[in-house]
Amino acid sequence: MRAKLLMAAVIACTLPAWAADEHGHDHGDSAPAANSNGPSRQPDGSVFLPKPAQYQLAVRTMLTQAGELARTLELSGTVVMDPNAGGKVQPTSAGRIEPGPRGLPSVGQAVRKGEVLAYVVPSTSPLERSSQAAQLAEIRAARSLADKRLARLQELSDTVPRREIEALEAEIASLDARARALGGGLASREALAAPVAGVIASAHVVTGQVVDARELAYEIVDPSRLRVQALAFDATVAADIAGATLAVAGERVPLQFQGAARVLREQALPLSFSAQGAALSKLAVGQPVKVFVQTRSKVQGIAVPLASLMKNPSNQTIVWVKTAPERFEPRVVTTEPLDGVHAAVTSGLKAGERVVTQGATLVNQVR
């Protein structure tokens, strides 16, 4: 009896597993076991990132150094044309546009100083043209009569005073000059020449277009020489500027402070900066930019690249610090602007720690 009860218990224990295996007839791939060596977020918020994953994600770090950094203000600015390296082309009279020797230039085309871009044929009414033609005909008729008189006086040169012959010659020269002036006015056209060497920034005319006097035809700029105007709502900033920078495509471009205006614009004081360099060719006139103005006052902090700054789920600014060969910890920090490429960490980070400078976004996404 005891043997029968033992056999029944064994069958009852093995029956559910056998029934489950036979019911589905599914002997395919089962779920793989969790890989404990892969990137993972630890319970304390740190990230475990093995060396192969670091190489694959191109994670790079830097050793931090503390020091005195210039207190920096971030101002809103706009790229403007350098008046010494740019200009506008405008006709002085109304007329019809005709192509220049090389045709009408297009936007982005390089031009030389003095190069003729287009012609403007003055537009005159039929009455004005007929009046000019009538005056030209009268002058030519008077010139023909003066030639005949001069010929007769030259035949009588022995009896006619010399001053009469000279007066008639002067009259003929005057008639010739008047005829040339009227004839040139009827067939003349104004040449629109480039005032400086540079690149066509904007074009507003096409062949056959009728333009008015002082209407803008072309704008020419030198992409390597531009200016930046920034607005400072604190008028005392102009007296405390030690330097300024502009970030262009991740590249730091130094600016030279030219001066501050004496008239407010939009309740702010305009500050003018000049810059030179190939990086400026990526900017366009009128483009809004951020200008980082370094003052003479100092702040104690650590300079880190802007790519190191991340946000945690609480929307706090953090940096990732490498505390072990395969371990990264988040640090909540407070920052101030520096130069557009770096930021000054004023708290939350110590000197000598390794901060992630490349691949911080991927480290921040590990869950």
- Is the confidence at residue 2, as pLDDT, over 50? no
pTM exceeding the 0.85 threshold for the entire prediction? no
| pLDDT tens per residue, range 116-171 | 999 998 877 666 777 777 787 888 888 888 888 888 878 777 777 888 878 888 88
DSSP string, 49-100: --HHHHHHHT-EEEE--EEEEEEEEEEEEEEEE-TTSEEEE--SS-EEEEE-
| Backbone angles phi and psi of 251, in degrees to 5 | -110, 135
pLDDT tens digits, residue range 201-223?
999 999 999 999 999 999 999 98
pLDDT value at 283 more than 90: no
Q: CB–CB of 329/46 below 8 Å?
A: yes
* Higher-confidence position of 7 and 96: 96
What count of Cα atoms within 13 Å lies in the side-chain half-sphere of residue 203?
21
Q: Residue 258 — very low, low, confident or very high, per pLDDT cuts 50/70/90?
A: very high
Helix ranges restricted to H, the chain: 2-24, 51-57, 126-155, 162-187, 360-364
- Give the integer Cα–Cα distance in Å for 221 and 205: 17
For residue 125, what pLDDT is reported? 64
- For the record, the structure tokens of 314 come out as 């609480």
